[in-house]
Amino acid sequence: MSEAITTPHGKGRSLRPRVAAATLGISISTLWTWNRERVDFPKGIRLSPRCTVFNEDSLLQWRDSQAHKGE
């Protein structure tokens, strides 16, 4: 099964949690904690009860905004 899904309308890829965590350089447990507890973190999209994906563009924009907060 593919770990990333390209959406048809150019809105970025949908990443499975393992790939989303690797993209941010964090563990999967940290990804789920941030998803649950941080209001500014891009929320996952549930495709089914056992499948959640994260929008790659949203994650990268969030990551970049965090870098600018420290300046």
Q: What is the pLDDT of residue 45?
A: 96
Q: By residue range, what is the domain housing residue 52?
A: 4-69
Q: What is the pLDDT of residue 9?
A: 47
Q: What is the pLDDT of residue 12?
A: 82
What's the half-sphere exposure (Cβ side, CA atoms, 13 Å) at 21?
14
Structure confidence at residue 68 as a pLDDT band (50, 70, 90): confident
**Tens digits of per-residue pLDDT, 1-51?**
556 555 544 578 999 999 999 999 999 999 999 999 999 999 999 999 999
In residues, how long is the chain?
71
Distance CA 2, CA 67 (A): 30
Distances (CA, A) of 53 to 58, 67, 71: 12, 23, 30
Q: What is the pLDDT of residue 5?
A: 54
Given the structure tokens 């056992």, which residue do they identify? 50
12: domain CATH number is 1.10.10.10
Work out how many domains the chain is built from and give that number: 1
